[in-house]
Structure formats: structure tokens, C-alpha cells
């Protein structure tokens, strides 16, 4: 893969109440990865103890059902996240909770950007519009 074939890289930090992952989030993450829409570059979980100390844990049985939930992502580490990133993000949650940090490539965009560059175009900016702003704008349009 050349640098031109890399899509935009994003990250998400997700607070996990009671330090457990529940619901369909894991299924959706696996589905997005298997369909090639994203490529997971880092997946780290930081558990915040009652005394506030943070421990980065291996991806394991996060929902307590006895099965390795994220075996497909076991050992995924790009080096983009370090212990300081985990500690900083863990400061956003309360003791007794955990935070999952996900760094991923938007693989769908890589071939598009490469094709545009081959045609002489150049990506000059990128960004993210917060979901809340999008929802507000759509609600406003629907009310007109």
C-alpha cells in the first residue's frame, strides 16, 4: 500500500460504563472491518480503577460472557497511540469505568483520493462535522 492509497485516519473514544462493553457495537465494528469500510489501526481499552489509576488492558472478554469478543483485533497496534493517550482519554470517564480508544482508517476513501491525485487534483483539507450539528441541521430542514 502506498501513501496515496491511505484514507483519512480518525479516532473515537467510547466510555464503557461499569468497564463492560455491551450491545451491538462490537458486531458493528467487526462488520465495518470485514466489509473493508474501515481498517482498525489501534484498539486499546483503558480501565480506570476506583483510586483513579489507569490500566491499559488487552482486548479480551469485555462483556463477561467467557468469549474473546474482539479476537479479530487482538494485537492490533499501529504505534499511533501510547500510554499517555490512554491516560489522557481515561481522564474523561469516572472511576470504575473504562474507555475504548479506536484509531481507524476510512479505507473507502483511499482509492478515491488516489484516483483524484492521478487526475491532477490534490486533497487540500479534511475535517469532521460533529454528529450533533448534523442532527440539528437535519431537524431544522425537516421542520421547514
Residue 108 near residue 7 (C-beta atoms within 8 A): yes
Output the pLDDT for position 136. Answer: 92
Residue 31 DSSP label = H
Q: Which residues of the chain have pLDDT under 70?
A: 1-4, 19-23, 58-72, 74-75
Output the pLDDT for position 144. Answer: 85
Across-strand partners of 40? 104
Pairing of strands 9-16, 98-105: antiparallel
pTM of the model: 0.76
Amino acid at each position: 500500500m502506498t501513501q496515496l492509497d491511505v484514507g483519512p485516519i480518525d479516532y473515537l473514544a467510547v466510555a464503557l460504563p461499569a468497564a463492560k462493553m455491551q450491545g451491538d457495537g462490537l458486531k458493528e465494528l467487526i462488520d465495518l472491518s470485514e466489509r473493508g469500510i474501515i481498517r482498525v489501526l489501534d484498539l486499546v481499552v483503558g480501565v480506570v480503577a476506583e483510586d483513579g489509576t489507569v490500566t491499559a488492558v488487552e482486548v479480551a472478554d469485555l462483556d463477561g460472557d467467557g468469549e474473546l469478543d474482539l479476537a479479530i483485533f487482538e494485537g492490533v497496534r499501529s504505534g499511533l497511540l501510547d500510554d499517555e493517550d490512554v491516560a489522557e482519554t481515561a481522564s474523561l470517564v469516572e472511576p470504575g469505568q473504562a474507555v475504548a480508544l479506536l484509531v481507524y482508517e476510512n479505507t473507502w476513501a483511499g482509492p478515491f483520493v488516489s484516483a483524484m491525485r492521478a487526475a491532477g487534483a490534490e486533497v487540500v483539507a479534511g475535517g469532521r462535522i460533529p454528529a450533533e450539528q448534523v442532527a440539528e441541521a437535519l431537524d431544522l430542514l425537516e421542520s421547514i
